[in-house]
Each structure stands twice: as C-alpha cells, then as structure tokens.
Chains A and B, each alone.
Chain A
Amino acid sequence: GAVVSQHPSRVICKSGTSVKIECRSLDFQATTMFWYRQFPKQSLMLMATSNEGSKATYEQGVEKDKFLINHASLTLSTLTVTSAHPEDSSFYICSAPQGTGNTIYFGEGSWLTVV
C-alpha cells in the first residue's frame, strides 16, 4: 500500500488565490520531505526540500515566497501556492525517504488547475 499520501488529488482555484497541498508519511516519520513539480509529458523537477522544524531549502529558480513550505510535524509537510496564476497549473508530487536505507517513496500527486 501507499506509504506517502497527498491531499487533495485535484484542486481548481481562481487566479490570485492560494491553495494548500498536504503530504503525509504513513506509519513512519520523515524529518525530510521533497516537493517536485511535473508538467505534462515532462520529467519531475525538484522544487524544494522540506525540513521538519526548520526552513525549507529551495532549488535555484524556485520562488520561496510563492511556494511556501511548512513541515510542522514528523509526518506532515504542506506546500502552499500563493497568489496562484494559470502558469502555476501543474502536477505537484511529494516524496519522503523511509527505512534505514532511505528508500524514496512518492505520493499520488496533486493536480492543480488555476483558472
């Protein structure tokens, strides 16, 4: 079964509004989680590393004020897309390492459509 869960799976929001996506590790703790973005027919691009109890670290070119990441507990990281625009429409996916070997598992993904 799934070890990483995302919610919502699909969301539609109006331009200018903010939307929050949740990523949960199921039955294990994750001090670090990762957020990726994927456009249609393209690969996954790492956006940021979510760190429990501290600030997220963002990849080059990713606006930290636009994509707010909060890792408030050992099982939950949230990504908030602020002041959303149509170009932010994409598939957002989170991942978390599990186990002593840090196997990386992904969530089911969240489709964001900004209208």
Chain B
Amino acid sequence: GENVEQHPSTLSVQEGDSAVIKCTYSDSASNYFPWYKQELGKGPQLIIDIRSNVGEKKDQRIAVTLNKTAKHFSLHITETQPEDSAVYFCAASVQGTDKLIFGTGTRLQVFP
C-alpha cells in the first residue's frame, strides 16, 4: 500500500532562518498532498496543500514544492518565528479516494 516517508524527524532553527521538511511517497496515483501543523493536544491544522497538476504553491511564508517524477514534495517555511514551533505532518492521498496516509512527522523548534 501507500507509504509516506518524512525527514527530518526533528529540526531546530534560529528565529528568522528557513526550515525545510521533505517527504517521499510510493503511490504514483496520489494526487493530493496536504501539510498539517499539529500543536500539543490539538487536531492537525491544514497549512497548505498542493495537487498533482501544480509544481509549486506559496502562501506568505509557507511554500510547498512537488516533484511527481521523483515522487517527493517539500515544505518550506521562511522567516521562522517561535510560534511556528510544532509538529508538522505531510500526507498523500490514496488513489481515487480522500483517504490520507501520513508521514511520521517533524518536530520543529524555533529558538528566539
């Protein structure tokens, strides 16, 4: 079945620096790739998503890139702030459905 790998598992950056999280997926039929931010004790919050007909998408300090040939996608956060500290999950859709398979998560810490 579909498998999603996510790296790194932890990431520490200084405030103002950029952070990059990378994911690879196995199902070439996946066509929806959302990213979620999860704070302690809360449900995942959608921060950005991208579909297979688009190579890049940007929303203020957040951007996502998708390489369908290589089957990997990345989250880029620029000008990081302490409030960006959280666990970030990537996900990929299962062929023809709205089911999502999640990566293992990245704990991002932004130090002031």
Spell out A's residues near B (CB within 8 Å): 6, 32, 34, 42-46, 49, 93, 95, 97, 101-109, 111
Once bound together, how far apart are the Cα atoms of A42 and B97, in whole Å? 24
Interface class of chain B by DSSP: strand
- Chain B residues closer than 8 Å to A49, beta-carbon distance: 97, 99
- Chain B residues closer than 8 Å to A103, beta-carbon distance: 34, 46, 49
Interface class of chain A by DSSP: strand
What is the interface size of chain B, counting residues whose CB is below 8 A from a CB of the partner? 22
- Chain A residues closer than 8 Å to B25, beta-carbon distance: none
Name B41's contact: one of A42, A106, A111 (CB within 8 Å): A111
Q: Are A93 and B49 in contact (CB under 8 A)?
A: no
Q: Are A109 and B43 in contact (CB under 8 A)?
A: yes
- Chain A residues closer than 8 Å to B42, beta-carbon distance: 108-109
Q: Which of B34, B98, B101 has the most CB of A within 10 A?
A: B98
- Chain B residues closer than 8 Å to A32, beta-carbon distance: 98
- Chain A residues closer than 8 Å to B105, beta-carbon distance: 42-43
